[in-house]
Homo-oligomer: A and B are copies of this chain.
């Protein structure tokens, strides 16, 4: 098995998709890292920063930065938790208003990079990736 090629193509795919997403989000004034946090917050309602980190498997410092940017743009609110160390994060009305446009853009971008990959391949790829990722944790 050519493990080198496997890692190399995976790395390139990831970079390519990140770049494509960032380019699509640029006119909306968002970055990919912000979108990933927004997406989780939209589906989960509200979370502490720690929970957001755990969910996205990202360390705390980059998450602090992402959230501070979102706060500055008025898309996210930080509410102190019962445990006063915690900050509970939630989307603002402004964000909820913009959300459908963001989601549409991301969805269309995803579709466009997948349009030549058969549906069965997409599903097989997802299955293999999930299985691999699970074994790594």
Contacts and interface: CB of A to CB of B under 8 A. Distances in A.
Contacts of A133: 9, 12-13, 16
- For the residues of A in contact with B, the DSSP-based class is helix
Interface residues of A, number: 45
Nearest to A15: B57
Contact of A131 (B16, B21, B117): B117
B3 A111 contact: yes
A128 B5 CA distance: 12
Interface of A: 1-18, 21, 36, 39, 57, 106-107, 110-111, 113-114, 116-117, 119, 121-126, 128-133, 135-136
3 cross-chain pairs, A with B, having the tightest CB-CB distances, nearest first: A14-B14, A3-B110, A116-B135
